[in-house]
Each structure stands twice: as C-alpha cells, then as structure tokens.
C-alpha cells in the first residue's frame, strides 16, 4: 500500500506543478493557495471525465505513443492537429478515471456497426494493456477508487449511440460483458427506438422497445446516457429508469439554446433521479456566439461547395477552400473561455444541485476548445476557477469525481436488486420475444 500511495503522491506532485500555470492570470496571489486546495482534493478524490474520444483518434492515426506529450510532438507534423490526450498530460491534470468513448459514425448501422464497436472496444483494451503502469480497466465504482489509490488511471468504456447495438438486447448484454458501462441512447441520428436531439422527431421520445432498452440497462448496471438525445427522450428515459441517469457530455441550455444542452426542467428531473450532467467543453455548446459562428461557417461552406448539385465553386475544392479561408479571416471565431465553461457548472449547481454536476470534456472529439481548457492537463485550472467562485473543497471533490462514483454505486445497487427479480429481456424491435418464454 505504501508503494501505491507513493506512486499516487508523485502523480499529484506533477499535477501541482501545472496548477499555477493553468490558473487564470487575473486571480493574483491567491492562485497558490487555490492550487494547493485543488491538489489536495485530487489526491483524495479521483477526477473522472465522462467522455473522451481518443479511441477513434488512435484508429485514425495508427501508431501513437501515449507516453509522449503530443502538444509538442504533433506540432512538428504538418497539417496534424495535436492530440488533446496523452499520459504525461493526464498525469499533470491529476486524472483518476476516464470513460473512453467507443464512438462510431451514426451512418454505420446493422451488423457493421456491431463489428466496428467491437473493434473500438478492442482499441481501448489494447491501449490499457500497452501502458499498465498508467492504466487499468475499471468496471465498478470500487475499481475506480482502488486504481486511483494505486496511482493509475481507471479506464472505463462508454458506447456513444444506440445504433451500435443493432436493435438487439443480446448485443447490449454482450457489450456490457466486454466492459461497456454506459450507452448514449442516440448519437446525431434517430434510432429505430429513440429520437436524437439533432434530427427531426420521429418517435417523440422513446418507443416501447426504447423503454425496454432502458429497463435492461438498469438490470445490467449500464448507465443510461442522455447526451445527444431529444428533450422528449430525456424526459421519458428518466421516467422509465430505476437507476440514476447521466449526461456524459452536455451543458446548460438556459445559457445557450442549443439542442445538445439540457433544459432546466430536465435538470430538475435529473436531481430527483439522483443523476449527473457532465459538462462539455465544446465552444459551440458553451457559447451562443460560438454556436452562431459555427452555423455561419457551415452555411458559407455549403455556399462555396455543396455537391452534388450546388455551390459557387462546386468541383473546385481549391477555390472553395480559399474562399472559406477568406471568410474565416473576415469573420474570426468568437473567443470562448474557461470562465464560460465554469458558468455552465454554476448554472447546473443552481438548478439541480452540486451533487448533479460533473466533468465531460469531449476531448479529442471536438475540433476546438475554450481558452485555458485545450487538453487533459487543464482540469486543475477549471477546479481553481470554481474554487475562486466560492466552491468548497467538498463541492470540488463532488464535481471532480465524487458525484460520478455515487451515480455508479446507486446504479450498481439497482442492478443487484433487479437481477434477483427480473430475467434478461428477450424483446425484439418488432415487439416479439427472441425466444419462447
């Protein structure tokens, strides 16, 4: 135990060295005291991020050495965006646990989606096995706490879209066996049983099969993730769930009217459900000005080149890219700051309570980040900002990871109870059981 404790203290010391650098410069001489408070919190409580898309980046980039600080390494490679995640910066950020997203495009469905999801799960498990000094697979709240005490980073798996199970209860169960501990009910498109936030309503929430999926996830102990789903799906899933739900990477819709964020009435339901909203760092979900800029850029891109039928420079990608670059020069992206992200934490605490908020960065799944939150070494800067706003050490511990641990424990307790009283569901999408009961 002493050796494990020493390993963790070393990692906390590395985190402390980055705290002052990460702090907002306007805070003055109190930074050192705030940094010391945050370092103590992270020594005692595992910092858990609900969503990181590194697995897809590893798939796309091929051989990547995560022992390298890629903020410096990748800049030497022309045209390559630096990774936001690697082991040195996770250590500097004081990380204790990470839900790795095994995302696949929503356009991939059917058996192909199941296969690609299995490949993504394999990427996570292979990554963890390659760096045993840094990572260990975790499946329960107790696992996270033990791994954190040993000075390593607990690695969990989250499925980012119901299309990845191909409308199959059996596939859902096997994903759980392979380590998935949450599933986002939809991604950017509707499934056959749930509406997405970013698609035209088809079911107006959940179908009966969708509600059965929620029930089976409760029985398994797999968290129901409501990021990406429509407000109707949010409300109906919370009503159907016997366990706390999560939003792995979403913000407060009262601050920016974006469908990827959570309305206040749903925040109040999350509080009653004992769930959690883990705040996303993507500028377009944090700032209304940034969201408008994103929309304007998308419109200009389509105006210049919208195959197969339209665009001023259709079939001329060089001219289209040059025109878009000129538009961007004339219309620079609005500045989005760490403080704006902290505003979302503050709002969720105000409406749902401090026990219902957490961190869900979406690192390596987003093209840009707020100033001061550009990679995994910057979590302490966010906690310092919250401390500056008056958050107590107990509240900082809750938002860093305590709330996520509580949600997991409650979901595990619900699963233990349901597995005594309920049999595995054999329901199919057409409403008939897969096998005779």
- Beta-sheet pairing, 180-184 with 223-225: parallel
Q: Is residue 392 part of a domain?
A: yes
Q: Six-digit token pair at 113? A: 């989606």
Q: Are residues 280 and 305 in the same domain?
A: no
Q: What is the rounded distance in angstroms from the CA atom of residue 242 to the CA atom of residue 17?
A: 43
Q: What are phi and psi of 161, to 5 degrees?
A: 155, 130
Of these residues, 49, 120, 136, 160, which one is catalytic?
A: 160
Q: What is the structure's pLDDT at 10?
A: 53
- Beta-sheet pairing, 135-137 with 47-52: unpaired
Q: Six-digit token pair at 357? A: 């908020």
Q: What is the structure's pLDDT at 17?
A: 45
Residue 134 CA, distance from chain mean position: 20
Domain span at 113: 2-284+336-421
End-to-end CA, the chain: 50
Query: Partners of 357 in the beta sheet?
Result: 277
Of these residues, 136, 225, 355, 362, which one is catalytic?
A: 362
Q: DSSP 3-state assignment of 39?
A: helix
Better-scored residue on pLDDT, 23 or 408:
408
Q: What is the structure's pLDDT at 9?
A: 52
Q: What is the structure's pLDDT at 1?
A: 43
96 DSSP 8-state letter: E
Better-scored residue on pLDDT, 11 or 106:
106
Of these residues, 70, 163, 203, 228, which one is catalytic?
A: 228
Q: Within 13 Å of residue 101, how many CA atoms lie on the same side as its CB?
A: 27
Q: DSSP 3-state assignment of 129?
A: helix
> What are 332-352's pLDDT values in tens digits?
999 999 999 999 999 999 999
Q: Are residues 312 and 199 in the same domain?
A: no
Q: Are residues 296 and 361 in the same domain?
A: no
> What are 18-66's pLDDT values in tens digits?
555 444 444 555 789 999 999 999 999 999 999 999 999 999 998 899 9
Q: Is residue 59 part of a domain?
A: yes
Q: Is 160 a catalytic residue?
A: yes
What are the Cα distances from residue 29, in Å, to 20, 23, 25, 74, 384? 10, 11, 10, 34, 13
The H or E element containing residue 217 is: helix 208-220
Q: Is residue 119 part of a domain?
A: yes
pTM metric for this prediction: 0.93
Q: What is the rounded distance in angstroms from the CA atom of residue 156 to the CA atom of residue 179?
A: 7
Q: What is the structure's pLDDT at 217?
A: 98
Q: Are residues 295 and 316 in the same domain?
A: yes
Q: Are residues 314 and 370 in the same domain?
A: no
Q: What is the structure's pLDDT at 102?
A: 98
Confidence tier at 433 by pLDDT (50, 70, 90): confident
Q: Is 249 a catalytic residue?
A: yes
Q: What is the structure's pLDDT at 283?
A: 97
> What are 343-400's pLDDT values in tens digits?
999 999 999 999 999 999 999 999 999 999 999 999 999 999 999 999 999 999 999 9
What are the Cα distances from residue 75, in Å, to 69, 72, 86? 11, 6, 14
Q: What is the rounded distance in angstroms from the CA atom of residue 35 to the CA atom of residue 15?
A: 9
**pLDDT of 131 strictly over 70:** yes
> What are 283-325's pLDDT values in tens digits?
999 999 999 999 999 999 999 998 887 889 999 999 999 999 9
Q: Is residue 434 part of a domain?
A: no
Q: Are residues 55 and 202 in the same domain?
A: yes
Of these residues, 51, 70, 163, 258, which one is catalytic?
A: 51
Q: What is the structure's pLDDT at 25?
A: 47
Sign of CA dihedral 78, 84, 87, 91: positive
> What are 174-231's pLDDT values in tens digits?
999 999 999 999 999 999 999 999 999 999 999 999 999 999 999 999 999 999 999 9
Q: Is 65 a catalytic residue?
A: no
Q: Is residue 435 part of a domain?
A: no
Task: Read off the CATH number of the domain in which 266 is found.
Answer: 3.20.20.140
> What are 410-428's pLDDT values in tens digits?
999 999 999 999 999 999 9
Q: Is residue 8 part of a domain?
A: yes
Q: Six-digit token pair at 344? A: 């979302």
Q: Are residues 11 and 144 in the same domain?
A: yes
Q: Are residues 219 and 363 in the same domain?
A: yes
Q: Is residue 295 part of a domain?
A: yes
Q: Are residues 93 and 109 in the same domain?
A: yes
Q: Is 187 a catalytic residue?
A: yes
Q: Are 272 and 281 in contact (CB under 8 A)?
A: no
> What are 79-122's pLDDT values in tens digits?
678 999 999 999 999 999 999 999 999 999 999 999 999 999 99
Q: Six-digit token pair at 431? A: 């409403």
Locus of tokens 């760096």: 131
Q: What is the structure's pLDDT at 77?
A: 62
Measured CA angle at 38 (ends 34, 41), to 5 deg: 145
What dihedral angle (degrees, nearest 10) is formed by the CA atoms of 199, 426, 412, 118?
A: -60
User: For the chain, how many residues are written?
Assistant: 437
Q: Are residues 303 and 244 in the same domain?
A: no
Q: What are phi and psi of 303, to 5 degrees?
A: -65, -35
Q: What is the rounded distance in angstroms from the CA atom of residue 156 to the CA atom of residue 93?
A: 18
**Beta strands in 230-317, from DSSP E residues, in sequence order:** 246-247, 276-279
Confidence tier at 12 by pLDDT (50, 70, 90): low
Domain tally for the chain?
Answer: 2
Of these residues, 249, 258, 344, 347, which one is catalytic?
A: 249
- The closest of 257, 208, 262 to 230, measured between CA atoms, is 262
Q: Are 239 and 210 in contact (CB under 8 A)?
A: no
Following DSSP, what letter does each residue of 54-91 receive, concatenated?
A: HHHHHHHH-S--TTS-HHHHGGGSTTPPPPS--HHHHH
Q: Is residue 70 part of a domain?
A: yes
Q: Are residues 314 and 346 in the same domain?
A: no
Q: Is 49 a catalytic residue?
A: no
**pLDDT of 5 strictly over 50:** no
Q: Are residues 213 and 310 in the same domain?
A: no
**pLDDT of 256 strictly over 50:** yes
Measured CA angle at 118 (ends 116, 429), to 5 deg: 80
Q: Is 51 a catalytic residue?
A: yes
Confidence tier at 76 by pLDDT (50, 70, 90): low
Query: Partners of 277 in the beta sheet?
Result: 247, 357
Q: What is the structure's pLDDT at 432?
A: 76
Residues 6+ apart with CB under 8 A from 310: 302
Of these residues, 70, 187, 203, 258, which one is catalytic?
A: 187
Of these residues, 31, 53, 86, 195, which one is catalytic?
A: 53
Per cent of the chain over pLDDT 70 is: 91
């Amino acid at each position: 135990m002493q050796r494990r404790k020493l390993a963790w203290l070393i990692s906390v010391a590395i985190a402390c060295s980055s705290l002052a650098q990460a702090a907002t410069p306007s805070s003055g001489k109190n930074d050192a005291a705030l940094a010391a408070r945050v370092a103590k919190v992270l020594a005692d409580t595992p910092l858990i991020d609900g969503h990181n898309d590194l697995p897809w980046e590893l798939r796309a980039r091929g051989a990547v050495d995560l022992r390298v600080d890629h903020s410096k390494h990748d800049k030497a490679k022309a045209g390559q965006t630096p990774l936001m995640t690697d082991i040195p910066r996770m250590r500097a950020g004081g990380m204790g646990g990470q839900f790795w997203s095994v995302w696949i495009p929503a356009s991939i469905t059917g058996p192909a989606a199941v296969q690609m999801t299995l490949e993504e799960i394999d990427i996570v498990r292979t990554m963890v096995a390659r760096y045993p000094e840094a990572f260990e697979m975790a499946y329960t709240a107790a696992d996270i706490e033990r791994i954190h005490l040993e000075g390593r980073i607990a690695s969990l798996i989250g499925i980012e879209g119901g299309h990845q199970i191909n409308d199959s209860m059996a596939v859902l169960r096997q994903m759980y066996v392979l380590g998935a501990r949450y599933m986002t009910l939809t991604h950017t498109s509707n499934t056959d049983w749930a509406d997405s936030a970013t698609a035209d309503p088809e079911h107006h929430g959940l179908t009966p099969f969708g509600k059965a999926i929620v029930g089976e996830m409760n029985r398994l102990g797999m968290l129901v993730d409501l990021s990406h789903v429509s407000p109707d799906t949010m409300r109906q899933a919370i009503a159907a769930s016997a366990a706390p739900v999560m939003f792995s990477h979403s913000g407060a819709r009262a601050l920016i009217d974006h469908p990827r964020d959570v309305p206040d009435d749903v925040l109040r339901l999350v509080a009653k459900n004992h769930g959690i909203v883990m705040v996303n760092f993507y500028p377009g979900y944090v700032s209304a000005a940034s969201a408008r800029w994103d929309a304007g850029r998308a419109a200009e891109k389509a105006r210049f080149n919208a195959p197969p039928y339209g665009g001023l420079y259709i079939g001329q990608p060089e001219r289209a890219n040059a025109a878009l670059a000129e538009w961007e020069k004339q219309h620079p992206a609005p500045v989005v700051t760490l403080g704006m992200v902290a505003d979302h934490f503050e709002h969720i605490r105000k409406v749902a309570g401090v026990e219902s908020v957490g961190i869900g960065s979406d690192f390596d799944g987003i093209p840009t980040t707020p100033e001061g939150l550009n990679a995994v070494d910057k979590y302490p800067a966010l906690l310092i900002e919250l401390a500056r706003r008056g958050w107590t050490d107990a509240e900082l511990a809750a938002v860093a990871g305590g709330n996520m641990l509580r949600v997991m424990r409650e979901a595990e307790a619900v699963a233990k109870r349901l597995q005594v009283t309920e049999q595995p569901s054999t329901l199919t999408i057409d409403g008939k059981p897969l096998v005779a009961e």
